[in-house]
């Protein structure tokens, strides 16, 4: 069987909120398992866990490990916990091959009333595993033998998978993410999903091929991690805005001005959708439009909060997240289509007034024309070249 342990974040909440989040986690888990096409039965055990019975344990466990709000997914073997000696012998039988010729440690987690302690089981099973050829090393073992004892039942972990943790997707309000297809905006979207927020995506098209690439990355993200939401995409043609910037705005100010105009357009979409916050992949100081004065200028230019979950992260950490998420390889193929500097120096500390003056060079009618090109559709309906 498989045990899914829920995130500790859930159990920091009030009992009423916990119930709501556990229900959401279970519903999302059902969606993820259903996507595999393999039959599985889910039951709750205790306050913190679900038990899954399935024939194809690998596929089911891998799917469960993509559901936000889960901290771990463990393939288990069940043993009776009525008799300490029999339980210890069962642990030895199951783990002997795993520890032979290696250092090991036994970790026992016990709940319920027993005539023996967790340490008693660890010592008794440990003695048997030493006889089987293992060597005890509690601090840094090559193999860990984990045993969960719940009342009269004991479960030995056969295979452990780390879950994403966080809060169940859909337990918080939705957000609108500005996505480019690169590492940063994708990881930022994932991080908001991990805090329970369903994500809608907006992409400002400056190149048809790049638009398809951005949506392909978003689709890859949601195919793996999106159980619990049906994401909507808003695709806006921004090429004429880019051309107006090249014609009317000093090249030193074009990058930050483009960023402001995209944020303003996204804010209008968010208002139409009754979404209360934008999400960007900004990391402080990474490029000229992400210096502190320019992040402040962008936030000041819109009346919707701008959330930046990556703001303090170095690029290496962001890429490591992308690898874990599974989008790194595709994001690495993103092309830069927003460089408007024509090779010259760009502003890094323009004040809010200077940014506002630069943005004012773009007529409001041109922004309205750009927004009129908006195509809104479910990400699941997208096909390359179709939009």
> What does the pLDDT look like over 18-50, one tens digit per residue?
999 999 999 999 999 999 999 999 999 878 889
Assess whether 131 and 182 both reside in one domain.
Answer: no
Domain extent for 259: 175-381
Assess whether 153 and 230 both reside in one domain.
Answer: no
197 domain-assigned: yes
Assess whether 205 and 130 both reside in one domain.
Answer: no
Q: State the total domains in the chain.
A: 2
Distance CA 202, CA 73 (A): 33
CATH number at residue 263: 3.40.50.620
Which backbone phi and psi does 164 adopt, to 5 degrees?
A: -80, -15
Following DSSP, what letter does each residue of 37-103 receive, concatenated? T--EEEEEETTTEEEEEES-HHHHHHHHTTSTTEEEEEEEEEEE-S-HHHHHHHHHHHHHHHHTTSE
Q: Work out the angle at residue 243's Cα, subtended by the Cα atoms of residues 239 and 249, and round it to the nearest 5 degrees.
A: 130
Looking at 141, 162, 183, the residue that finishes a domain is: 162
Task: Give me the pLDDT at residue 351, please.
Answer: 84
Assess whether 130 and 179 both reside in one domain.
Answer: no
Cα separations (Å) of 283 from 184, 260, 305, 310? Answer: 8, 16, 16, 5
Assess whether 297 and 350 both reside in one domain.
Answer: yes
Assess whether 154 and 197 both reside in one domain.
Answer: no
Assess whether 277 and 155 both reside in one domain.
Answer: no
371 domain-assigned: yes
Looking at 104, 137, 162, the residue that finishes a domain is: 162
263 domain-assigned: yes
CATH number at residue 101: 3.30.2130.30
Distance CA 76, CA 59 (A): 15
Assess whether 88 and 232 both reside in one domain.
Answer: no
Assess whether 321 and 220 both reside in one domain.
Answer: yes
Assess whether 125 and 146 both reside in one domain.
Answer: yes
304 domain-assigned: yes
Task: Give me the pLDDT at residue 371, please.
Answer: 96
350 domain-assigned: yes
27 domain-assigned: yes
Q: Give the list of residues 6+ apart from residue 166 with CB closer than 8 angstroms, or none.
A: 7, 9, 68, 69, 193, 194, 195, 196
386 domain-assigned: no
Following DSSP, what letter does each residue of 196-263 receive, concatenated? T--EEEEEEESSHHHHHHHHHHHHHHHHHH-TT---EEEEEE-HHHHHHHHHHS-GGGHHHHHHHHHH
Assess whether 276 and 359 both reside in one domain.
Answer: yes
Following DSSP, what letter does each residue of 261-284 receive, concatenated? HHHHHHHHHHHHHT---EE----T
168 domain-assigned: no
Distance CA 246, CA 224 (A): 39
Looking at 129, 162, 195, the residue that finishes a domain is: 162
In the chain, which stretches have pLDDT less than 70?
207-209, 335-339, 341-343, 387
Task: Give me the pLDDT at residue 46, please.
Answer: 79
Q: Give the list of residues 6+ apart from residue 70 with CB closer than 8 angstroms, or none.
A: 4, 5, 6, 7, 25, 29, 64, 163, 164, 165
Assess whether 136 and 223 both reside in one domain.
Answer: no
Distance CA 387, CA 383 (A): 7
């Amino acid at each position: 069987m498989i045990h899914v342990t829920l995130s500790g974040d859930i159990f920091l909440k009030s009992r009423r909120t916990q119930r709501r989040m556990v229900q959401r986690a279970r519903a999302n888990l059902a969606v993820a398992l259903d996507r595999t096409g393999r039959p599985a039965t889910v039951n709750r055990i205790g306050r913190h866990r679900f038990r899954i019975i399935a024939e194809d344990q690998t596929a089911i466990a891998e799917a469960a490990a993509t559901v936000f709000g889960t901290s771990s997914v463990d393939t288990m073997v069940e043993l009776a916990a009525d008799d300490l000696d029999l339980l210890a012998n069962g642990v030895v039988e199951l783990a002997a091959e795993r520890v032979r010729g290696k250092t090991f440690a036994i970790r026992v987690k016990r709940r319920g009333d027993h005539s023996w302690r967790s340490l008693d089981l660890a010592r008794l099973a440990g003695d048997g595993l030493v006889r089987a050829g293992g060597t005890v090393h509690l601090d840094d073992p090559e193999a860990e033998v984990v045993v969960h004892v719940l009342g009269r039942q004991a479960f030995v972990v056969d295979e452990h998978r780390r879950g994403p943790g966080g809060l169940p997707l859909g337990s918080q309000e939705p957000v609108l993410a500005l996505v480019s297809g690169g590492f940063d905006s994708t990881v930022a979207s994932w991080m908001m999903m991990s805090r329970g927020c369903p994500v809608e995506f907006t992409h400002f098209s400056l190149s048809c091929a790049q638009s398809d690439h951005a949506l392909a990355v978003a689709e890859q993200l949601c195919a793996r991690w999106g159980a619990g939401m049906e994401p909507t995409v808003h695709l806006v043609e921004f090429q004429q805005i880019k051309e107006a910037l090249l014609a009317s705005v000093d090249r030193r100010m074009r990058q930050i001005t483009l960023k402001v105009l995209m944020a303003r357009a996204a804010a209008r979409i968010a208002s139409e959708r009754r979404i209360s916050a934008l999400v960007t992949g900004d990391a402080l100081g990474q490029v000229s439009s992400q210096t502190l004065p320019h992040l402040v200028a962008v936030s000041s230019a819109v009346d919707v909060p701008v959330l930046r979950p990556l703001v303090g992260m170095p690029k290496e950490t962001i890429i490591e997240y992308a690898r874990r998420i599974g989008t790194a390889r595709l994001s690495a193929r993103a092309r830069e289509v927003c460089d408007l500097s024509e090779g010259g120096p760009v502003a890094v500390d323009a004040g809010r007034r200077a940014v506002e003056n630069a943005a004012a060079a773009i007529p409001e009618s041109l922004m309205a024309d750009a927004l009129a090109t908006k195509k809104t559709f479910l990400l699941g309906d997208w096909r390359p070249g179709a939009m």
